[in-house]
Structure 1
Amino acid sequence: MSGQAVAAIAGIQSTLAQLRGDAPAANAASASVFASLLAQLSGGSAQTSAADAWGQKIVDDARGYLGTPYQLGGTTKSGIDCSGLVKSVVGQYGIQAPHDSGLQGRMGTEVPSLAEAKPGDLIVLNNGSHIGIYAGDNRIIHSPSPGKTVVEQELWTGDAGIVSIRRLDPPASAAAPASALPTGLDMQSVLAGLTLLGRFAGAMGSGTSGGLGVAGVSSLLGGTSSLLGGSSLLGSSASTSSTPDLASLELQRWMLQQKGF
């Protein structure tokens, strides 16, 4: 976890201390626990990170073809065309793309504009007869035409000259694993992180747009086997009340202690 993230979470801890009374001492370890458990509830950031990482893999793999000569119908580093480049790169991840730029331009989901494009997106050009891989920063990797080689260059057109921008979903093998608690933590850090999460949920309330509330926390703590190992720690005693229920957190603390953490 970066120093900025720890500092931000420490700031949340300070606010919670004012809202709910004395909070456990802010430190990097408890901040890490707090962030990991919060990620389990919010989930969306992990999915976004997986998609971004997948897009960057596509770019990195495409760069491995830089300098490859253009060859109509080619799909190897001996010679490759524009759709062959896309087919070869995504094929490494089990995605069977057609060897046709127009058909590839129907894969995935539409990205509304170049301003929203991310590395790894497919850029369809020239009325669908050409395709390349967006590398970010208004750059594209593509196999241009006979007599040229695969190159990474500045994109020469804007939205008006782009037929479509397509984003491929990451395959299951590229999905981000569930957030796990940092290793090497002492008992006090784990309990501090759990308590902070409970107080955060209490301060936010169960009806927030992000869905963070005591009911959500209780659901998470009821299935902590994925985080701490072993069976459910709260079981059916977890509270689903819409009001802060620190008693359930105290029960969580006690049961953690009984399990020897």
Structure 2
Amino acid sequence: MTIGDVTSRISAIQAQLDMLAPASNPVSSAAFANALSANSLTAASGMPSVGAGATADGLAVVDEAKQYLGVPYVWGGTSPTGMDCSGLVQMVYEKFGYDLPRLSADQARSGQPVASMAEARPGDLIAWDNSSRNNGVDHIAIYMGDGKMIEAPRTGLNVRIVDVPSTPDVIRRILPDTAAVTSASFSPTAAPTPGGAVPSFVPYADAFNTAGRTYGVNPMLLSAVARQESGFDAKAVSGAGAQGIMQLMPGTAKGLGVTDPFNPTQAIDGAARLLKDLMTRFGSTELGLAAYNAGPGAVLKYNGIPPYAETQNYVRSIMTTLEATT
């Protein structure tokens, strides 16, 4: 037996132990592996905390844009201390793995066209061509829904929320049409469940099994994600603001119809729908997990699992747990 075989077997055993452990158990498979190997991968230095909250839906984009409310307008600015209209758009979407052009005229040609404001969704870009001196649009903003937008307006004013002042000359959708996941996207009837049921001694086993049966997601996969995300801690809050057992960002939770992400049953149900959508969209469990952790934009950008140590470890750890328990 090679050293690699031994290490693989140790990881599988630890995964089984972790599934048996109560939520209060401080030992994780990652910590166990680090104790055995000095060569274990670690999260990249300075890498932002991502988790499920990085999933790019329109409400998450709006929530991110709100972080910059009150920042002064600075022509050509692209930093949290000062930004112009296209700088705001570029910074917000960069958080979700989208590398948009720097100029508003170029941003207004990105993504897909939206026919009218009646079809506009939160997170869409709305833009105006106010001056004949420029080639293309010269002002761009992020649509919030309900006739409001977030903009970096002009010198002397700060990033703000205002009513959409007039019909935009251009409306563009950067996010995939399937990015907004709602309860209505899935049939509430029972679907065939791949994989086995979560044993009763695992925390919230009933919720994992119910959600798995309802949406056709392996309940053991849901359980493994919860262990990786929060250690089965329904009250967990990350440094980035992700909440609950499945670590949903507030905007993502709202888009999923989860009114209380600290309620384990609601959170698990929402996460099951989200994972089902991501795995269907990207065609595999591994890519679905990568999108759950780093966001669909990052998976699309790199055409696979992003080269982030955190995301690669995340996918590897969950798949190891899944393989050891099925």
Structure-2-length-normalised TM-score: 0.37
Q: Which structure has the bigger radius of gyration? A: 1
